[in-house]
Structure 1
Amino acid sequence: MGFYSRMPVKLKLTLGSAVLLTMLFVGYNALQYVLMEKWMIQREKSNAQRNMNGILNYFLERESGFTQEQLPEIRHYLDKINRDDQRIRIMDAKGKPVITVTNNVSEQWVEPQPISRQEVFISRGGEHTLLVMRSPLTIFEFKGTIEIVKSMAEYEEWSAAISRFMVYFTLAAVVLSVLVGWLLSWRLLKPLQAMAQTIRNVKNKGLHERTKPPANGDEISTLMLLFNEMMDQVEEAFRQQSRFVEDASHELRTPIAIIEGHLALLQRWGKEHPAVLEESLQASLQEFTRLKGLVLELLALSRAEKNSLAPTPLLTDLDDHIRVMVKRVAPIYRGFQLVTKLEPLGGATVLISVEHLEQIMLIIIDNAVKYSLHNTTILISLMLRGEYVCLDITDYGIGIPAKDLPYVMDRFYRVDKARSRDMGGNGLGLAIAKRLVERYKGKLEIDSREAVGTTVSIILPISTDGEQRLEGAV
């Protein structure tokens, strides 16, 4: 078993298919042989039975008894109906032969035996295989036995010929099954070998290597397609990770360089110039605060991109939660009006935690406040949209250029880098919000026009599980 487990898959498939096909051929040949043997024996028995019935009818139709004067006539009749390689013998009640006619069957091959009822059997003793049929005979005062012995030499010749044919056929089947098994294993393993080569190429040449799946749509083709999709995701994740490291390094480098410069300035001039000391400390503290915020946002983004979330409660009164949250954060944004327009949801539920919902809304409201110049109204609206709940946050600020819209939810992407830096933005807020919404199988959509305003839509699916739980609770 250990040797078999170490064998190559190709050899396993070849041997397995060869053994299976050989067993099928052998089983089929054995069945054919048994059926042929039974048919040939049954045919000989039927022929012997017809002879026996003919002899019995011959004697029953005779009007005279079984006398010595009639023996030549009876012998002539038996000679006439006797077949090749067959012997017909009539015995008296004691088993003594009275008439014997034979064609190449010796009397010594079967001992005479009187019987009281008909019997038929195959005798395989000695060098000959014989079919023996006996039937009792009663004609007037004569009581005896009719015995027909048929040599099965023809049957044995046919049986030997069939056996030889089946042996040759089985050997040919073994060779054919090995060839078929090898071709089958080669055909099946060819795409897998190609995929293995692609994996080696990925290791040596990079993540851009892909397999070429066959167009037959079978399981192996599906596996290769899934492998390509997985490699696409891995390559994209690696590209995003590289870009993330580069962007994070760049973002971290700036405040660190500023802090380092001010510390060097303090070391040289800070002790003798209080104004320089105050300015450098204030700038360093400001950059440190920005650096701390960046690290916290990176941690939040990392948590948002995890594959699993903690058990999440169902929000049923979503409008009440939003109204309470807006009322609580309104004092933070002095000078701005947070206007709510919340439609009743008719008992619809969404699967999201209160903390994540507030985090997403705060990110979007904070952006709306930062980029609103003159119109200080922020509209927060809630409505049903088919099988989804849609929460829109609209500002009437500077808007987003059309060329930047596809990228504003990428990490570290900022439309106006100088303005974002002055306002403390790191380009991570919308990326965090997008990841959180997607974790709840929702979507984050942005519609914006320059100098008109921006609407960010939080679209969450209505939870059918929630409906079932509510029904169960009722």
Structure 2
Amino acid sequence: MTETKKTTEKTLRRFTLSWQLALGMASGFFVIFIIFAFVLSQILKQYYGRLPETLYQWLGITILLGGLFVFGFAFMLTRYILRPVKSIKTTIEAFEDDPMTNVRADRANVNDEFYDLVNILNRMIDRLQSLIGAQQQFVSDVSHELRTPVTIVKGHMDLLNRWGKDEPEVLEDSIKSSLAEMQRMETLINEMLNLTRAEQIPIENVQEVTEVGGLVHRVFDNFKLIHPDFIFTLDDDLTQDANVKVRQDHMEQILIILADNAVKYSLDRKEIHFALSQTTNRVEIGIQDFGEGLSSEDAARVFDRFYRVDKARSRAKGGNGLGLSIAQRLVKAYGGEITLESALGSGSVFTIRLPLQRENKNDQKLSN
């Protein structure tokens, strides 16, 4: 009953507003029309002297009909002008009631003055819904993933409360385990924040250009240094600088995630292979390991957040199942793609493809 009353009140308000605007416009037009009729009658008087009574009657009828016509025209014009405003108002009210609504302001039959406003409103709602969705997903993931470490820490605190004061070994083990879980929680939260930021990169605002070849060589050299027990190889088929419109820290983060993943899941054959190549419009980066590989079922889900092929082993290796999700979302945010080829017992190959940033003609002229 309350909703019906609200709807009725809104309809009456809109109808009243239309009539008020129409009356205002009609009054203005009507005054102009009367002035015109008065001036016309004075001109006729000068030429014909006293006007016949019938002419006054016809002037009165003309003024009345003209007033009705002007009012009707003003009312229709007002309705036309207010149509996009009504659509915008309806959209805002729907968003206020439900932030995840699918209602959007209608761009059809919208005049030029309101078209940009409608587009801006729709884009703003899309952006806000994306942020709200990311926030909801973040809260859901945090509550789910932190449940285990919090339970473990609570268990150790209970253990310390009972026997820790009198048992030095229990005290030491519980403190070590609790610190390890706290460290894992800190890492998990940082990774989840990175994942949320990766989903919200406004690529149109990114102006930084990164030269991929030099960055891949640097990451390659760093991994050779910190993993001396591995064999690292690099095939660089680039014939010129491969510039991409990606922040350098994001590009480096993607490469480190994939290289670190390759190291973690290598078995007896400790060998990692990097490859660089480019086509007319894209640069391709491949990182290959020769480890345990993945089944087709696992490969299809490997980019899902918190997905672990072997949860026990992943946790032992320090993984939270977020690294590849972060890498994929970063690559996608910059208009690229990341793919996986893998087979059990044969290792995996991750390939990143990003659009090349070409110099515009003005830059080329300046360089010449």
1:184 aligned partner: 77
Map 1:35-74 onto structure 2 (within 5 A): none
1:10 aligned partner: 18
Deviations 1:34-71 (A, max 9, x none): 9x97xxxxxxxxxxxxxxxxxxxxxxxxxxxxxxxxxx
Instruction: For residue 363 of structure 1, report the CA deviation from its aligned partner.
Output: 0.7
Number of matched pairs: 349
Of residues 246-255 and 370-379 in structure 1, the stretch that sits farther from structure 2 once superposed is 370-379
1:372 aligned partner: 266
Instruction: For residue 312 of structure 1, report the CA deviation from its aligned partner.
Output: 5.8
State yes or no: 1:387 paired with 2:281.
yes
Higher normalized helix content (fraction of residues) = 2
- Unmatched 5+ stretches in structure 2: 1-15
Residues 223 and 271 of structure 1, relative CA distance in 2, 3 Å threshold: same
Whether the 8 Å contact between 1:258 and 1:287 is mirrored in structure 2 is yes
2:5 aligned partner: none
2:134 aligned partner: 240
Whether the 8 Å contact between 2:209 and 2:248 is mirrored in structure 1 is no
Whether the 8 Å contact between 2:198 and 2:329 is mirrored in structure 1 is yes
- Largest Rg, 1 or 2: 1
2:65 aligned partner: 172
Residues 407 and 467 of structure 1, relative CA distance in 2, 3 Å threshold: farther
SS where residue 267 of structure 2 aligns? Answer: coil
Instruction: For residue 261 of structure 1, report the CA deviation from its aligned partner.
Output: 1.6
For the residues of structure 2 that align with 1:29 and 1:402, how far apart are their CA atoms? 86
1:100 aligned partner: none
State yes or no: 1:472 paired with 2:355.
no
SS where residue 146 of structure 2 aligns? Answer: helix
Q: Which has the higher contact order (CA 8 A, sep 6+)?
A: 2
AA aligned to 1:421 is R
- Unmatched 5+ stretches in structure 1: 1-7, 38-123, 130-151
Instruction: For residue 176 of structure 1, report the CA deviation from its aligned partner.
Output: 1.5
For the residues of structure 2 that align with 1:344 and 1:205, how far apart are their CA atoms? 51
Of residues 214-223 and 299-308 in structure 1, the stretch that sits farther from structure 2 once superposed is 214-223
Residues 202 and 463 of structure 1, relative CA distance in 2, 3 Å threshold: closer
For the residues of structure 2 that align with 1:260 and 1:274, how far apart are their CA atoms? 19
State yes or no: 1:338 paired with 2:346.
no
1:434 aligned partner: 328
1:61 aligned partner: none
Whether the 8 Å contact between 2:87 and 2:106 is mirrored in structure 1 is no
Instruction: For residue 13 of structure 1, report the CA deviation from its aligned partner.
Output: 4.2
Instruction: For residue 383 of structure 1, report the CA deviation from its aligned partner.
Output: 1.5
Whether the 8 Å contact between 1:198 and 1:209 is mirrored in structure 2 is no
For the residues of structure 2 that align with 1:258 and 1:245, how far apart are their CA atoms? 20
Among 232, 238, 253, the alignment partner of 2:147 is: 253
CA RMSD of aligned residues (A): 4.1
TM normalised by structure 1 equals 0.60
1:207 aligned partner: 100
AA aligned to 1:297 is E
2:190 aligned partner: 296
TM normalised by structure 2 equals 0.74
